[in-house]
């Protein structure tokens, strides 16, 4: 089955042609980083206008690179949410029009589930149950996946997503946008233990994440002890990065020991971070589990992962009608599974 994937949830306009959910014939991404760089973050209206301008040529290029004619596409998978409503609407509207004109099925895909499927192309088949840490600028969630297509939120961020925290701290340090790569670059020459930050503890005892306090701690440190050299700034960046990575990986390792998955997944834009990958690999080794990462091209928002997720749903006969629309609060199916024989009692959170 040839699926055309379309992604426009935030600031990347992307299209991809994927065969049977695992073979990428083409993947084209138009980034808006330079457009939003002067503002230090994504401006929703500008993002929507850019999607409108780019979506048709990007889809055309994806088909051309794949050597596929439009009439050969069997189905379309498009990001339905979560994301920026204007950006999502561009992709959904275009995809519906195309599907109607071609007379082929369309399926709406959860963007976060797309990140779970981003590991489908460069790794062995995922063995379930699995545990997935999805870390990006807009999302930080840990999922238990007992079987393909079923998700339980184990941990989520109470405030800033990890990628958002990277961007904000980079701005404090006078670095460029996006902040994640800039912090990582600076941290390479820093000494990790020179500046230490404490991991946030959630008062109600849940294994959730919190990065707002860490951001405040960095701001306070800069006010009280301003960097006097490039090395001081590098040490601070290294300390901040280590605090984020430790919070993410320690939580994943602890929950994996409890839920006992057969595969670990680390995906999302922050999965490009080498310190995070190294820490996750060490945790996986301690647990005697494989850990799968997407390639760098597939870590950030892309349409191949949307096509892969769409393929799974289409195989189950799940299709959308022409009433499909953007849903900024779209969440994964959330189930309440027993942990060690006892019901979790966790509330259902939006993802």
**How far apart are alpha carbons 231 and 102 in whole angstroms?**
58
Which among 86, 83, 30 is positioned nearest to 54, based on CA atoms? Answer: 30
Taking only the tens of pLDDT, the chain with its 351 residues reads: 999 999 999 999 999 999 999 999 999 999 999 999 998 889 999 999 999 999 999 999 999 999 999 999 999 999 999 999 999 999 999 999 999 999 999 999 999 999 999 999 999 999 999 999 999 888 899 999 999 999 999 999 999 999 999 999 999 999 988 899 999 999 999 999 899 998 888 878 899 999 999 999 999 999 999 999 999 999 999 999 999 999 999 999 999 999 999 999 999 999 999 999 999 999 999 999 999 999 999 999 999 999 999 999 999 999 999 999 999 999 886 655 444 434 343 333 333
State residue 351's pLDDT score: 37
Q: Assign domain 2-117+298-315 to a CATH class.
A: alpha beta
Q: What is the pTM of this model?
A: 0.91
> Do 2-117+298-315 and 125-293 show the same overall fold?
yes
Q: Which pLDDT score is estimated for 344? A: 41
Domain range list for the chain: 2-117+298-315, 125-293
Q: DSSP label at 198?
A: P
Distance between CA atoms of residues 96 and 274, nearest Å: 38
Beta strands 23-31; 12-19: pairing state: antiparallel
- Which DSSP string corresponds to 290-307? -EE---HHHHSS-SHHHH
CA-CA distance, 197 to 236, in Å (whole number)? 10
Nearest to 309 by CA among 81, 137, 139, 63: 81
Radius of gyration of the chain (CA): 20
- Give residue 332's pLDDT: 83
The domain made up of 125-293 has a fold known as Nucleotidyltransferase; domain 5 (3.30.420)
CA dist list (Å): 83 to 76, 317, 327, 342: 19, 25, 8, 34
Interatomic CA distance for residues 33 and 54, integer angstroms: 14
């Amino acid at each position: 089955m040839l699926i055309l994937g379309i992604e426009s949830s935030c600031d990347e306009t992307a299209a991809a042609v994927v065969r049977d959910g695992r073979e990428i014939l083409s993947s084209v991404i138009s980034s808006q980083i330079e457009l939003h760089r002067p503002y230090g973050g994504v401006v929703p209206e500008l993002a929507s206008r850019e999607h409108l301008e780019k979506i048709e040529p990007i889809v055309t290029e994806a088909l051309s690179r794949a050597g596929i004619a439009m009439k050969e596409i069997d189905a379309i998978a498009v990001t339905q949410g979560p994301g920026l409503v204007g950006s999502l609407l561009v992709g959904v509207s275009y995809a519906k029009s195309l599907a109607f004109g071609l007379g082929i099925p369309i399926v709406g895909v959860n963007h976060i589930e797309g990140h779970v499927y981003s590991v489908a192309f460069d790794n062995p088949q995922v063995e379930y149950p699995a545990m997935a840490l999805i870390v990006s600028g807009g999302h930080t969630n840990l999922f238990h996946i007992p079987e393909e297509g079923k998700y339980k939120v184990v941990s989520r961020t109470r405030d800033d997503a990890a990628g958002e925290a990277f961007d904000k701290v980079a701005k404090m340090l006078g670095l460029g946008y996006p902040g994640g790569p800039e912090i990582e670059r600076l941290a390479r020459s820093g000494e990790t233990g020179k500046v230490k930050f404490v991991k946030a503890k959630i008062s109600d005892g849940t294994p959730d994440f919190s990065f707002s306090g860490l951001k405040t701690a960095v701001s306070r440190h800069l006010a009280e002890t301003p960097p006097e050299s490039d090395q001081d700034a590098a040490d601070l960046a290294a300390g901040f990065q280590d605090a984020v990575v430790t919070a993410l990986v320690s939580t994943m390792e602890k929950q994996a020991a409890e839920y006992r998955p057969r595969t670990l997944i680390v995906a999302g834009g922050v999965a490009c971070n080498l310190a995070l990958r190294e820490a996750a690999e060490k945790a996986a080794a301690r647990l005697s589990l494989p850990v799968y990462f997407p390639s760098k091209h597939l870590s950030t928002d892309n349409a191949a992962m949307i096509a892969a997720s769409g393929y799974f749903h289409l195989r189950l006969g799940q299709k959308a009608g022409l009433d499909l629309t953007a849903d900024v609060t779209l969440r994964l199916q959330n189930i309440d599974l027993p942990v060690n024989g006892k019901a979790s009692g966790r509330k259902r959170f939006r993802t």
